[in-house]
Structure 1
Amino acid sequence: MPQSSISVLLSHYIHVVMHDHNKFGEVVGEVKEMGFNLESSNFVFALNALCGKNSKSIWKRSRGVYMRWGWSENDVLSAFRKNPEFMIMSEKKIMRVMEFLVNKMGWPSGMIAKYPWVMRHSLEKRIIPRCLVVKVLWLKGLIDENLSLGYVVQPDEKLFVERFVTKYQNEVPQLWNVYQGKVEIEDV
């Protein structure tokens, strides 16, 4: 394991190494079996997700929630490899984000499995404002409906505003107000 990963482990996740030696070795083995590279920082995040208090029950609960949304076992494992920490979120948060992205926005559940780090963002501060702007642009026919979720949620605020708000300000003058939550999309 690289020094940088050990530093992260010791400075942020000391509880992980405080486990019984046998339990810790068992979890390290599980993480390796799941396909994580020991050289990757995601290895440390996976250890944290599987070594925390009640981690096995949290893992099973989260797995079940995602599978209710149509994810396969492979979807769950693939998403976990990309962003292990999305599995230790509360069931309430998972359900709220999935409900919004799938039922309100119309994104297929499988797309969320491709971008699991999206689940870690604030629903109110990042996901909803950005998605509402995108929905307005879809409804106006100004952007492609096949836009990836990552392209919408990943960029920093400045880049998002340039791509989706400023660029279309002339066609949709109320877009900035939609982004700030001052105007409902039905009023645009």
Structure 2
Amino acid sequence: MSRLDLANKLSHDPWFMSRSLEKRIVPMCSFLKSVVLCDDKLVYILKHKSCIFSGNLSKNVIPNVELVRKLGMPQSCIVLLLTRYPIVLRKPELFSQLVAEVEQWGFDSRKSSFVLAMNALCRKETTWKRCDQAYRRWGWSDNDIVAAFKMDPLCMILSEKKIMATMDFFVNKMGWQSHTVAKYPHVLSYSLKKKIFPRFSVVRVLVLKGLIEEHKLNLGSVISVSEGYFLNRFVNKYLNQVPQLLDVYQGKMATF
């Protein structure tokens, strides 16, 4: 960890200095390194997720990690759990209840979606409730919300502002049915400015020019594909017919 990173960390989280080096910091670092197996990830935790050092290693963190290991959770998912979310700080009885709830939803402990679902479900009284209310404003039913969550747990930890802005774009500007968006919940996590606006601006032009048929498109084919594939499939292919298409994609020409 660089001196500058350390200075920034301690200036923002001075409480870190109050932790015992021998009893808390060194043991936790040793344990984390044995799991994440990478100095870079350990430094990331120190810089961004140091709240884990406030937890009890022997009573909470280790038993919780052992529990998900017994369920077959792979190393990559355990690393995700430790580097992104402070769920492992929970008391083992509460942690095991959360794990059981995620299993009841049908998530596979061998996949990263299990960890994402844990993160969403542990915030049921706050973030989850806010997301639920936001989606219902767009007409989503219980079945829509359940299905969307199972496909992409991240859709239930988004901010209300993000949900409303993205749904407004797809429903009011693109003319999609809100229930259609529920079938592709991962699109809600993408950046409006960097990904959604540019790609659908291109699609809008192609539809208006009669070069593609809107009813044959789905959100996944536009949003989920790689940058290179999108450029070849929707931009480069039509540059002869629509020379300004690249400018549209780069935001140099407004279409909405």
Do the structures match in fold with TM over 0.5? yes
1:127-182 Cα deviation digits (max 9, x unpaired): 01100100111111111112001100111111111111100111111111111111
What is the aligned partner in structure 1 of residue 91 from structure 2?
20
Q: Are the aligned partners of 2:74 and 2:110 in contact in 1 as well (CA < 8 Å)? A: no
1:148 & 1:56 partners in 2: Cα distance?
33
For structure 2, list consecutive stretches of 5 or more residues without a partner in the other structure: 1-71
Identity %: 50
Contact 1:34 1:77 in 2 (8 A): no
1:127 matches 2:196: yes
Partner of 2:115: 44
Using the size of structure 1 for normalisation, the TM-score is 0.91
Aligned residues, how many? 183
User: Gapped runs of 5+ residues in structure 1?
Assistant: none
Q: In structure 2, what is the Cα distance between the partners aligned to 1:65 and 1:85?
A: 14
2:78 aligned with 1:6, yes or no?
Answer: yes
Name the larger-Rg structure. Answer: 2
Superposition pairs of residues 33-72 of structure 1, within 5 angstroms? 33-51=104-122, 54-72=123-141
Residue type of the partner of 2:206? L
Q: Which runs of 4+ in 1 moved over 6 A?
A: none
C-alpha distance after superposition, 1:73-108 (max 9, x if no partner): 111111111111121111001000000011000111
1:106-133 deviations in Å (ceiling 9; x for gaps): 1111221111111111100100110010
Once residues 32 and 74 of structure 1 are traced to their aligned partners in structure 2, the CA distance between those partners, rounded to angstroms, is: 18
Distance 1:70 1:172 in 2: 37
For the aligned residues, what is the CA RMSD? 1.5
Partner Cα distance (1:139, 1:25) in 2:
53
Residue of structure 1 equivalent to 2:156: 87
